[in-house]
Amino acid sequence: MAPRPLSLSLDLIARAHPDTVPDDPNALTLLPDEDLSPELDAMLARRASSESGLWVFAYGSLLWSPEFGFTEQRLGRLRGWHRRFCLLQRRFRGTPEKPGFVLGLDRGGTCRGVAFRLDETDPHATLMPVWRREMKGKGYEGRWVRVETAAGPVTALTFMVNRQSDRYAGRLSDEEIADKIASACGHLGPSAEYLFRTVEACARLGIHDRHLWSLQALVAERLRDGRAACG
């Protein structure tokens, strides 16, 4: 059954968050490339030599803003992990005073997403942009996972939430998460925009995630009621 139309919209988000927010580099310390590059080499060394194809499994912002070119994409299912807004965002789409949330993969359940096949001529150079994007804030752990697709399973790199990070929020209720998403805004824009674009991408792909669908309705309700303000 097709999901109902979204309650959340970019127009509603823009009306609730009309002002820009300056970047605060002190809000989140980012790892430099000289630290990230050896970690990527170590991750590639753990990739089985028998694997065919270089794949990345996307479940959040990579669905609508991939950090790479790709030669193939397949809808896929990852078992043992579920998509959840469980990682606080104190920079980019939030501030230390009003942190937003971004998605992570947390333990249990299943997650539907997209497996992207990348050029594997130079795996390090190909993966470095997405590795930098996901790993520089120390909120994620990279892992090779088995993704089921209609054309057969593939082994893909994906990013689990780092439970040891001080950004890991644990399992809050959808209402608590919606409160933070509705009010948070950073120099890249509102946290609600990240949510909207992810739900929109999932809907376009035929992926209906109850957590995302519940949150977009709750956030829309809060924005309409004026329970949000940047800064």
- 129: tokens are 């942009």
CATH of the domain at 119: 3.10.490.10
22 assigned to some structural domain: no
18 assigned to some structural domain: no
Q: Provide the pairing of β-strand 100-118 with 54-58.
A: antiparallel
Q: How many CB atoms lie within 10 A of CB 149?
A: 16
4 assigned to some structural domain: no
State how many domains the chain has. 1
Which is nearest to 174 in space by CA: 133, 209, 141? 209
Active-site hit among 34, 51, 72, 134: 134
Q: What is the mean pLDDT of residues 10-18?
A: 96
Q: How many CB atoms lie within 10 A of CB 127?
A: 21
Percentage of residues in the chain with pLDDT exceeding 90? 91
171 assigned to some structural domain: yes
Where is average pLDDT lowest: 45-49, 70-74, 75-79, 209-213?
A: 45-49
- pLDDT digit string, tens, across residues 156-174: 999 999 999 999 999 999 9
229 assigned to some structural domain: no
Query: Per-residue confidence at 1, pLDDT binned at 50, 70, 90?
Result: very low
Cβ–Cβ under 8 Å, residues 83 and 212: yes
Q: What is the mean pLDDT of residues 206-211?
A: 94
6 assigned to some structural domain: no
- The more confidently predicted of residues 96 and 2 is 96
16 assigned to some structural domain: no
d(CA 68, CA 127): 8
Can you give the residue range of the structural domain that contains 44?
29-224
Percentage of residues in the chain with pLDDT exceeding 70? 96
Is 134 designated active site? yes
8 assigned to some structural domain: no
Q: Is residue 132 scored above 50 in pLDDT?
A: yes
